[in-house]
Amino acid sequence: MSGTPVDEVSGPDRPAGVSEVSGPDRAAVAAQLGRQPRGVREIAHRCPCGLPSVVRTNPRLEDGTPFPTLYYLTCARLCSRIGGLEADGRMREMSERLASDPELAAAYRRAHEAYLADRDALEPLGTQVSAGGMPTRVKCLHVHVGHALAVGPGVNPFGDEALAELGEWWRPGPCVPASR
């Protein structure tokens, strides 16, 4: 499936935008992470350069350890840029807004519920813990951006907000060399 646009590889059991993991995808993700990926199930989003930017992981690792982060951001450049937002205090600002904006808090709770539903559809972990601090605080923007990229705009308000602030993060080209 490598080389096929992601939106063209959906099937009856595969949401639009999700593709199987090819050998070159696995190599690219390993290069992006600096280690072999664990628990990777599918490519949930691709950068416009064609490389994976978010993987969808199994709710449990191969050894049975729970792994609640369903949408794992892999693009090294995007991770770095998000780290800059976090260092600038964006998570604290977002968490403060949750306390004073009931509509935002409700949208964030819906993002949490959608995340849990997606994960539990694969394998319930028996917990209401999702990821990134949802639904009461913002703990990790990487999780929120990964979620927003994987499911599209309008689901995770803080993922959407961070992506808008980051702009065209992919513009310089691939974050790692593509292996074919």
Looking at residue 85, its pLDDT comes to: 97
Mean pLDDT of the chain: 88
Residue 174: its pLDDT value, please? 86
Q: What is the DSSP letter of 74?
A: -
Predicted confidence at residue 28, as pLDDT, reads: 94
What pLDDT score was predicted for residue 180? 54
Mean pLDDT (10-residue bins), the chain, 180 residues: 31 55 92 93 94 95 91 95 96 96 97 96 91 93 97 97 94 79
Rounded Cα distance, 132 and 72, in Å: 11
pLDDT of residue 173: 84
Helix (H) or strand (E) holding 46: strand 40-46
What's the pTM value of the predicted model, to 2 decimals?
0.87
Domains of the chain, residue spans:
6-166
Please give the order of strands across the beta sheet that includes 40-46: 40-46, 52-57, 71-73
Q: What pLDDT is recorded for position 14? A: 40
